[in-house]
Structure 1
């Protein structure tokens, strides 16, 4: 009986100690997009690695796509649990700053940046280019320009994402406007004739494409890397367009209502470490923001020669009008 009671006492004491230890650990809450924590995404590795060095708990809450994440924090206001927002991009900067939800990150610009992009409120952690992905086993002569895709004499079926809820969808909106200018409404009407559906987010769109529900899907020029690394599948490729491709820079920032600001800054710095930048290259299949050795799969994909982008000021001034223009055109 003594041994039994002693053993129970030890177990109870250990359980209580573990509970108290966990209770004393701070929790950092990150709002992000769904694919960040998916089976193939970088989120789980980043979570485990950061928890091992911060003596904290990292709680990652996924909320669809980048636009959805921003909308959720704006809706929650000062009641939000978020300390860090991860997964917005250069096209959402103006909206996020207008919403007044951030504080400066106070992190020095690294000397080994892989791009010209830096901001006081957001740190960039990777970048890439929007592109339409196709299966080379099924399409032998893909479109070589955005105009060729829009004219669509081959009658390709396409899927893209809603610019009101998705960062790729918003990027496509700007890409179309950059190429077509004042003629974009007519171009959107052409797109509508061949669109299978407009999805809320990237995951839904890409999943439908993989089920052969469309010939081309809006994604990233680096998306084929995921198939090469994870499946040894070389069937998928990005259609490279003569006009160029719209650039996306993915960013993270600190929510001004956070009670864990120092921990949040530590997390942002962690995103820029070489091992995590490699994770973004391998599992987010985007180009790292600092100079990093890339997996061999990057040598096997089509590369982008011409980058397109609006300034944050242009986006802030015109975005709402361009979305209304899109809505009006596709409804006709």
Structure 2
């Protein structure tokens, strides 16, 4: 009996010690979009790789989109539980910066391989690609090589795009056309209208319509064919490269000023932007890494055709005019 009581006490003491240790492990709460936190996305693999390094826990909190993560933090303000946002992009970075909610990262990012030089003090890039229209070579032997060629296609040639108010690629398309055509943007949208099968709320809806054969082309990324090559062993899905150039999406992460885990958050960002963190990105988020991975980059990515010209708009221009540009697009296609 005495032995049994002693053993029971030892077990209880051991469990209490484990519980105390678990409570001592810091938690980094990260707001992101649903695909990033999904079991097939980067989140779980990043947790598995980083948690042993930091002796911490990563708590992924998913919204329906990257725009949704920013809106949530704006509503919560300084009371937010988030330490970091992962998954904003350069199209909304200016708006995010203007909230005053983000801290300087303080990192030296001198080993990046991006389409443009990186000097942002608040946001750390973690992947990139260019917006592009996907087509299937079995259905479209000769894709258009510009927006104007797309407009000149027969009216039964249909594309699917996303709403710029809810989907990052939809906003990217607005910026792409504005960067390429300036004051002619409304003319381009009017020309595209007969070809637009539908404008979906999210990327997945429109891409499914394309894959199901409902549309001839879908707005996506120049890296999307890598998914089909690696996962489906299918090389018929291609990105149509346009002569006027393509607009990039660079996804970024930032630390909230209100976080009580500033150093841990910055440790994560530094690791995430390193080759060790970056090697997880290509085959989970299907984008290019922001550092040169050399032989660690899957050959399916290395062989993808890329635009000869990268278009740009300043953060200031986007912040000042994006609402008007979105209205211009909606007025033309509705």
Could you say which TM-score interval applies, normalised by the shorter chain?
A: over 0.9
Deviations 1:100-120 (CA, angstroms, capped at 9, x unpaired): 11010111122x221312310
CA distance in 1, matches of 2:246, 2:49: 34
Deviation of residue 235 (structure 1)? 2.2
Structure 1 stretch displaced more, 126-135 or 195-204: 195-204
- For 1:238, what is the secondary structure of its paired residue? strand
**C-alpha spacing 1:81/1:6, structure 2 compared with 1 (3 Å):** same
Q: Which residue of 2 aligns with 1:328?
A: 331
- For 1:288, what is the secondary structure of its paired residue? coil
1:218 aligns with 2:234: no
CA distance in 1, matches of 2:218, 2:168: 14
Size of the alignment, in residue pairs? 330
CA distance in 2, matches of 1:90, 1:83: 20
Q: Which residue of 2 aligns with 1:132?
A: 133
The residue correspondences of 1:135-214 to structure 2 (distance < 5 A) are 135-153=136-154, 155-214=156-215
CA distance in 1, matches of 2:237, 2:255: 36
CA distance in 2, matches of 1:21, 1:253: 29
CA distance in 1, matches of 2:82, 2:46: 17
Deviations 1:132-188 (CA, angstroms, capped at 9, x unpaired): 112222222222112222333262222222111222111100111122322222322
**C-alpha spacing 1:152/1:92, structure 2 compared with 1 (3 Å):** same
CA distance in 2, matches of 1:160, 1:11: 60
The CA RMSD measured in Å over matched residues stands at 2.0
CA distance in 2, matches of 1:4, 1:133: 69
- For 1:306, what is the secondary structure of its paired residue? coil
Q: Which runs of 5+ in 1 are unaligned?
A: none
Q: Which residue of 2 aligns with 1:257?
A: 258
Deviation of residue 7 (structure 1)? 5.8
The alignment's TM-score, normalised by the length of structure 2, stands at 0.92
The residue correspondences of 1:1-332 to structure 2 (distance < 5 A) are 9-110=9-110, 112-115=111-114, 116-153=117-154, 155-293=156-294, 294-331=297-334
CA distance in 1, matches of 2:76, 2:198: 30
CA distance in 1, matches of 2:287, 2:121: 22
CA distance in 2, matches of 1:198, 1:20: 52
The alignment's TM-score, normalised by the length of structure 1, stands at 0.92
Residues 88 and 167 of structure 1 are in contact (CA less than 8 Å); yes or no, is this contact kept in structure 2?
A: no
Residues 245 and 307 of structure 1 are in contact (CA less than 8 Å); yes or no, is this contact kept in structure 2?
A: yes
CA distance in 1, matches of 2:122, 2:172: 21
**C-alpha spacing 1:151/1:40, structure 2 compared with 1 (3 Å):** farther
Residues 36 and 285 of structure 2 are in contact (CA less than 8 Å); yes or no, is this contact kept in structure 1?
A: yes
- For 1:103, what is the secondary structure of its paired residue? coil
Deviation of residue 258 (structure 1)? 0.8
CA distance in 1, matches of 2:7, 2:140: 68
